[in-house]
Amino acid sequence: MEKINLFIVADNALVANGLKHYLRNQFGDINIFNFYDSRSCLKKIKKDTQVVVLDNVIHGRSGVETMRSIKTINPETEVIMHTSGEEVASFLRILYKGKNYQFGQNAN
């Protein structure tokens, strides 16, 4: 069975490393790569990147913009966005302005 490729994109190294440690402990042997800016992540995204955990804002760049770029490279990549508590309201406003992106799925 092929390993899952998971990217973590966050400009806070403490958050990125903590999440990497947690996911490795929970799921074992998966490929986890940390990126501290959007550009370096986008240079490495491939057709075999299954999951990206993406910060809402990375060094001033919108996570939604980065997500759109990821989906252009590989529409099959699942993108999980996260944000800190104080950014939730602005994050939701940006999220709802997006077009043609599925952020949730019914169980049916």
| pTM confidence score | 0.76
What is the full per-residue pLDDT of the chain (108 aa) written as tens digits? Answer: 678 899 999 988 998 999 999 999 998 889 999 999 999 999 999 888 999 999 888 887 888 889 999 999 999 999 998 876 555 555 556 555 654 444 443 333
- Give the neighbor-by-neighbor strand order of the sheet with 78-82: 31-35, 5-9, 51-55, 78-82
Instruction: List the end-to-end C-alpha distance of the chain, in Å, as a whole number.
Output: 28
Tokens of 3: 């390993």
Domains belonging to the chain, first-starting first, are 5-97 (3.40.50.2300)
Residue with tokens 């990497």: 20
